[in-house]
Amino acid sequence: MVLRFPLCVFLGFAVLALCSGHIYADGPADNQPDQVRPIPPTGIEISSTVIEALEWRCQVLRAQWQSALKKDPSIAVMECEVLVFPRAVEMVIEFNQFYKANEPEQASVLLDESARRIEIIQRGGSWSDVVGIEVSEEPQLVIGGYTSKIDGSIQPYGIVIPAGFDPTNVRPRRLDIWFHGRGEKLSEVTFLNKQSRDLGQYAPDDTIVLHPYGRYSNAFKFAGEVDVLEAKEYVQSKLPIDKNRISVRGFSMGGAACWQFATHYADRWFAANPGAGFSETPEFLASFQNEDVRSTAPQFQQRLWQLYDCPPWAINLAQCPTIAYSGEIDRQKQAADVMQKRLESIGIDLVHVIGPQTGHKIHPDSKIEIERRMRALASAVRPSIPNHIQFTTATLRYPRMHWVKLTGLESHWTPATVEAEVDDALLRATTENVSRIAFDFKSGQWPGKRIGQITVEIDGDRLAGPLVRSDQSWTWELEKQDDHWAPASNEAILRKRPGLQGPIDDAFMDSFLFVLPSGHSEDEVVEKWVESESLHAMHHWRKHFRGDIRKKLDSEVTADDMDSANLILFGDPESNRIIQLISGELPLQWEADRITLGEFEVDRKHHVPVLIYPNPLNPNHYVVINSGFTFREYDYLNNARQTPKLPDWALLDVTDGPTNQLPGKIRAAGFFNESWMP
């Protein structure tokens, strides 16, 4: 369904561009891997006196906070709301990211806010007092930070508080999550400054709007994706949010993020409103970058496009009402066109609002129409559990849709589908490419017959299930045995399961620890590569995902580290004690003259293995060997390129060292099967 509006001129109402920084600077000129411009770009020269003064203030604020904390340890819960500001300034100084002459002054204002918050906390102020929420007839802008589980870093957020909000009123409000556009110069300082001044594109009545930072310019993928979920959880812990009225919205790069969140987490939102952006990898790069990745990317990379490409996940939008927007003459209209075509093929007519003769902007008439529809959807929400579910996934990273949870696939990166329906005391389901499934109704969620035994009919097998519990809940997990379904066994066997399914990049979406070798490799080339590549992984985690580095030598790793984090191990059995300790439990053999992984073998000289695998010392977490996140400098130039570049394992020739695209020459690469075997 395409909606167009007459082109009108509104006095005093300009059409606002959404994307921070340049919109079209990336293009065919950025298709040369040997001429990669730096991202983030280098900032302007700032007086050393100014920089030293800012650094000194950061140190003073940290010392003041530690002094206050020593007097009253209970205030530790407020630390993220204080130290987010000096950390933002320190990050900008570290990476030379002042781009305008007034930005040091903006940094100083943020440090003033940090000092103000310390004073309020010491006086016993509440969270609302600290962040500055009060009763007001005007919308209020709140900025702050939360502590990420991934690396312990303090990440910034912005919130719009609606007019008339009273911090003492616990009535749940609608929450819109807004994804910002691409901004290569969007440092923590510029983000926080913008969120303290700008209401944004949409600030609906009686609606709280969350603006996540997304860990810089990655289209809210990987750690950027986790940032959104963590920021949402943090805001829900502080403000009265109606969990049934949460939406995702965005434009440009933020539109791409919106498509991803709508299709991957369709059961969490009452609506999605993507604008422009991109919705998949190959067609967008062909259109926008004139780059034919279908003919150049290895097959394993093309399979991994499914992680964030949205057309294969389109059926999930049956559970998430969606209103797309595009400018009529915007090149990035391509994203919604692709999704519209895919949705039509499965019987869904996409509502696609188009701004007439409009480029990469939101037309004012379109904005009014979008808001009308979003209000209608929010008003129509009724807390209920659907009787009918259609769900698809390609990975157990995204295993759930309402009361259906997949706990095993027959083969990753091949679409798995479930259609399930409740009819009185009968639950019918049909599946494809599914080996284990759980039906999980929490308290009060079972929509069928209220008493008696449940019958489950799945792929033609009819099973007598559990009794409905007194709180209208029940849970049952089934597994396929000899092509028939049966109650799942509790046998502890190694298999791919939700949160433990790869690929390599998955390890960096939860708590992790870099573990560096204390010994030496026998091969000097390998030794130098391990040193440089581990430094590269840590530097780019901090630079690109704006994280803190947690690292230890192999000799320093504790049982608590094993229990709490994925271990990112660099080296080989000679240089890294942890690798030596687990080497016999890995599907990988280092021999005197060769490295063997399944049927693949390479000369040990100048070669290294890269892989992800359940930690043999704690199989609830991963070990990763010799890799950080897998996309590199060339891929920073366009967000659609930021897809996994290595699968579950690879064997690399590092004779010539890394490039801007790969850590070495790939001799072999592939996926482990569902039992974590080559």
Three-state secondary structure of 228-267: HHHHHHHHHHHCCEEEEEEEEEEECHHHHHHHHHHHHCHH
Residue-wise pLDDT for 332-367, tens only, equals: 999 999 999 999 999 999 999 999 999 999 999 999
Decide which of 455, 487, 519 is a domain's last residue: 487
Alpha-carbon gap, residue 582 to 588, rounded angstroms: 10
Q: Which domain holds residue 474?
A: 400-487
The tokens for 652 are 């690399």
Domain check: are 295 and 176 in the same one? yes
The tokens for 282 are 């190959």
Res 208: pLDDT? 98
Residue-wise pLDDT for 251-260, tens only, equals: 999 999 999 9
DSSP 89: H
Q: Are 654 and 607 in contact (CB under 8 A)?
A: yes
Percent of the chain whose predicted confidence (pLDDT) is above 90: 95
Res 228: pLDDT? 98
Residue-wise pLDDT for 419-478, tens only, equals: 999 999 999 999 999 999 999 999 999 999 999 999 999 999 999 999 999 999 999 999
**Nearby residues of 469 by Cβ (< 8 Å), 6 or more positions away:** none
Would the pLDDT of 498 be above 70? yes
DSSP 500: B
Alpha-carbon gap, residue 301 to 541, rounded angstroms: 21
φ, ψ of residue 151 to 5 degrees: the values are -140, 10
Q: How far, in whole angstroms, is CA 343 from its chain's centroid?
A: 24
Would the pLDDT of 4 be above 70? no
Res 489: pLDDT? 92
Average the pLDDT over 481-490 and give the result: 95
Res 324: pLDDT? 98
Alpha-carbon gap, residue 635 to 455, rounded angstroms: 50
Domain contains 294: yes
Domain check: are 242 and 311 in the same one? yes
Domain contains 499: no
Residue with tokens 């560096």: 516
Domain check: are 482 and 536 in the same one? no
Domain check: are 136 and 11 in the same one? yes
Domain check: are 359 and 237 in the same one? yes
Domain check: are 169 and 205 in the same one? yes
Average the pLDDT over 226-246 and give the result: 98
Q: Is 16 helix (H, G, I), strand (E, B) or coil?
A: coil
CA distances from 63 to 50, 314, 397, 547 (A): 20, 51, 41, 22
Average the pLDDT over 292-321 and give the result: 98
Domain contains 645: yes
Domain contains 75: no
Domain check: are 191 and 139 in the same one? yes
Average the pLDDT over 76-105 and give the result: 98
What's the sign of the alpha-carbon dihedral 78, 80, 81, 87?
positive
Left if phi > 0, otherwise alpha if psi is -120 to 50, otherwise beta: which for 461? beta
Domain contains 85: no
Pairing, β 388-393 against β 323-327? unpaired
Residue-wise pLDDT for 365-377, tens only, equals: 999 999 999 999 9
Decide which of 439, 454, 487 is a domain's last residue: 487
Domain check: are 442 and 563 in the same one? no
Residue-wise pLDDT for 567-623, tens only, equals: 999 999 999 999 999 999 999 999 999 999 999 999 999 999 999 999 999 999 999
Closest by CA position to 194, among listed 128, 110, 298, 124 = 110
Would the pLDDT of 221 be above 80? yes
Q: Are 441 and 465 in contact (CB under 8 A)?
A: no
What is the overall mean pLDDT for the chain?
A: 95
Contacts 24+ apart (CB under 8 A), 413-419: 413/303, 413/304, 413/306, 413/671, 415/306, 415/312, 416/392, 417/315, 417/390, 417/391, 417/392, 418/389, 418/390, 418/391, 418/392, 419/388, 419/389, 419/390, 419/391
Domain check: are 517 and 472 in the same one? no
Number of domains in the chain: 3
For 235-249, give one letter per residue: b (16+ CB within 10 A) or e. bbebbebbeebbbbb
For every residue of 300-341, DSSP letters joined together read: HHHHHGGGT-SGGGGGGGGGS-BEEEEETT-GGGHHHHHHHH
The tokens for 647 are 């699968």
Residue with tokens 């203030």: 57
Decide which of 335, 350, 380 is a domain's last residue: 380
Domain check: are 517 and 559 in the same one? yes
Closest by CA position to 515, among listed 624, 619, 611, 590 = 624
Domain contains 88: no
Left if phi > 0, otherwise alpha if psi is -120 to 50, otherwise beta: which for 452? left
Q: Are 392 and 313 in contact (CB under 8 A)?
A: yes
Domain check: are 508 and 482 in the same one? no
Please compute, for residue 628, the number of CA atoms within 13 A of its CA located in the half-sphere on the CB side: 29
Q: Are 19 and 252 in contact (CB under 8 A)?
A: yes
Domain check: are 202 and 336 in the same one? yes
CA distances from 498 to 46, 130, 317, 488, 582 (A): 48, 38, 21, 16, 23
**Nearby residues of 312 by Cβ (< 8 Å), 6 or more positions away:** 306, 392, 394, 415
Res 653: pLDDT? 98
Residue with tokens 């049982």: 559
Confidence band, pLDDT 50/70/90 cuts, at residue 26:
low
The tokens for 557 are 């790793």
φ, ψ of residue 594 to 5 degrees: the values are -150, 160
Cis bond upstream, residue 356 (ω within 30): no
Q: Is 467 helix (H, G, I), strand (E, B) or coil?
A: strand
Q: Which CATH number does the domain housing residue 357 bear?
A: 3.40.50.1820
Q: Are 284 and 213 in contact (CB under 8 A)?
A: no
Domain contains 34: no
Burial label, 270 (beta-carbon count in 10 A; 0-12, 13-18, 19+): buried
DSSP 433: S
Pairing, β 323-327 against β 351-355? parallel
Confidence band, pLDDT 50/70/90 cuts, at residue 21:
very low
φ, ψ of residue 662 to 5 degrees: the values are -140, 155
Domain contains 69: no
Alpha-carbon gap, residue 306 to 433, rounded angstroms: 15
